[in-house]
Amino acid sequence: MIVWCFDDRLNKVGHSMLDALVKYKNWEHKDLITEPGGAKILASEEASKAADKQSLLNRIKSGIALHHAKTIVLSTHIDCGAYGYSKSFPAGTEDQKLASDLVDAEKMLRKEIPDDISIESYIVKMDGVYRVHP
């Protein structure tokens, strides 16, 4: 199962990564959950985002229950509108914020799903896809 931003500007890079990941992992199929900002909402502590966060969490749990997902892939991407685009970050800090949010999202999700389900996090950029380790 893959949590992905609905922004299609990175589809060429992103979907190449997704296809390669599915092939590498030998998955029969992938469930794609699209959400503005991808995994960003899972890292949010804003009370105004609680319903959105719960909705995404419910969709992830449904995927686990219905399709027996064994891996959850969380992603964010450069120049994301949910973050205010790249221009909203001081120089050199966008990657750090995206990585930090992915780590926080992974920690939050880990508390909500069974321990035998793995979580992988990625930042998608125009020049490739980068794994984030907690």
Structure tokens at 20: 């390669």
Distance CA(98)–CA(69), nearest Å, equals 24
pTM: 0.91
Total residue length of the chain:
134
Residue-level pLDDT, tens digit, the chain, 134 residues = 999 888 877 666 666 777 777 787 788 778 889 999 999 999 999 988 999 999 999 999 999 999 999 999 999 999 999 999 999 999 999 999 999 999 999 999 999 999 999 999 999 888 878 899 87
Across 24-55, b (16+ Cβ under 10 Å) vs e yields eeeeeebbebebebbbbbbbbeeeebeebbee
What domain range is 88 assigned to? 2-132
Q: What CATH number does residue 23 fall under?
A: 3.40.1050
Burial of 98 from C-beta contacts in 10 A (0-12 / 13-18 / 19+) = buried
The predicted structure's pLDDT at residue 14: 64
In 3D space, the residue among 110, 130, 119 whose CA is nearest the CA of residue 10 turns out to be 130
The predicted structure's pLDDT at residue 130: 87
Number of domains in the chain: 1
